Amino acid sequence: MVRVTTGVHAGGHEYISTAHEDQKFGLSVAPGADGGESPAFAALRAVLARPELHLLGIHSHIGSQILDPDGFEVAARVVLQLRADLAAATGVLVAEVDLGGGYGIAYLPGEVALDPERIAKDVAGAVDGIAARLGTPLPRFSIEPGRAIVGPAGLTLYTVGTVKPVVVTGSDDATFVRTYVSVDGGMSDNIRPALYGARYHAELANRVSDAAPVLARVVGKHCESGDIVVHDVELPGDVRAGDLLAVAATGAYGRSMASNYNLLPRPPVVAVLDGGTRVLVRRETVDDLLALDLG
C-alpha cells in the first residue's frame, strides 16, 4: 500500500496530527513543486511500473486522539478521488483503502469517546455517496483502531511517596495552594504528559476518604521538573505516603513508550479478571538493567 497525506489536520496535538504536509509521514496528494503530478500519484504510478510489486491499495492516517469524526469523511473523499484518478489514468482500480485509526478515547471525566457504530455508519454513508458520484465500485475498507481497543483496557497503579503543599501565586496575583503528590513512576512509564501535554485523571484506589478535596498535581520521581503524570486533579486532602493512585486509560502509549530513564526498572503488566490476576509482563530488575553491560 502507498501511504498518502490528505491535508486533513486532525488530532489532539500537533505532534500526533499526521496528515498535514510539513511532516515526515506519507506522500502528499497536493501538486508537486513544479505544479505538476502529486508525489502520491507519482508513487502509485511507480509501484505499478514494477512487475515485482503488487499495489494493494491506498493508505491514509490523519492523526491520533480524534474526537470529531468529520475528518475521516474528508480524508475518504480525497483518497477515493485519488483512486478514481489513478484508474482513469492507468486502468488499475486498487482493491483496498485503509483509512487508518486515531479514534479518540475518554481520558478525563466528562470526555466522550468516539462511538464505533456511529463512525462506521457515518463514514460508510459518506463513502457510498462518494463512490457513486465518482462512478467507481466500492473498495475493501480497513481501519486501525489501536488506541480505542487497548487504551481503556489498561490503567497504571502508583504508590504515593512525598506529599507537599505549595503556595502558588496565579496570573492575577492571587495565591492558592497546590498539593504536589509524588509517585514511584513518572515519565519513564508514561512520557506523554511531558512530551506533548497529554492529560490524565487520577483517583485514590486503596481506600475511601471523606476528606475535602484539594487541588493536586501528581508528579514522578525523575530529575525533571516536567516529570508530571497529572497536571491538575482533585484528590482527597488526606492523601498520604503509601496510598495507591490509579491513572486510567494508559493501555495505549504507556508501556509501549516506556524507557529506563534514570535507570528506573519498568513495572509489570498484570491482567485482572473477576477477582483473579495474571502477570503478563514481569517487573524489570536491576539485573535486567545491567544485562547488556560488558566487562
Residue-level pLDDT, tens digit, the chain, 295 residues: 999 999 886 655 443 444 456 778 899 999 887 888 999 999 999 999 999 999 999 999 998 888 888 888 889 999 999 999 999 999 999 999 999 988 999 999 999 898 878 888 888 888 899 999 999 999 999 989 899 999 999 999 999 999 999 999 888 888 999 999 999 999 999 999 999 999 999 999 999 999 999 999 999 999 999 999 999 999 999 999 999 999 999 999 999 999 999 999 999 999 999 999 999 999 999 999 999 999 7
What is the per-residue pLDDT for 173?
85
156-259 homologous superfamily: Lyase, Ornithine Decarboxylase; Chain A, domain 1 (2.40.37.10)
Alpha-carbon distance of 264 to 284, in angstroms, equals 9
Helix (H, G, I), strand (E, B) or coil at 207: coil
| Cβ-based neighbours of 25, under 8 Å, separated by 6 or more | 3, 5, 18, 19, 61
Under 8 Å between Cβ of 220 and 229: yes
Take residue 144 and report the three cell numbers written for it: 486501525
> What residues does each domain of the chain span?
2-150, 156-259
CB count in 10 Å sphere of residue 237: 16
This prediction has a pTM of 0.85
Helical spans, DSSP H, in the chain: 39-48, 70-90, 116-134, 146-150, 192-196, 286-290
Identify the CA nearest to 202 among candidates 108, 281, 87. 108
Strand 244-247 and strand 202-204: the pairing is antiparallel
List strands edge to edge, sheet with 202-204.
Answer: 202-204, 244-247, 156-169, 175-183, 213-219, 228-236
| Cβ-based neighbours of 187, under 8 Å, separated by 6 or more | 193, 194, 220, 222, 224, 226, 227, 261
Identify the CA nearest to 127 among candidates 69, 202, 188. 69
Active-site residues, by number, are 223
Tell me whether residue 99 is exposed, middle or buried, using C-beta atoms within 10 angstroms of its C-beta: 0 to 12, 13 to 18, 19 or more: buried
Alpha-carbon distance of 30 to 39, in angstroms, equals 8
Take residue 197 and report the three cell numbers written for it: 501535554
Could you name the CATH architecture of 2-150? Alpha-Beta Barrel (3.20)
Alpha-carbon distance of 1 to 98, in angstroms, equals 9
State the residue for C-alpha cell 514522578: 220
Under 8 Å between Cβ of 5 and 21: yes
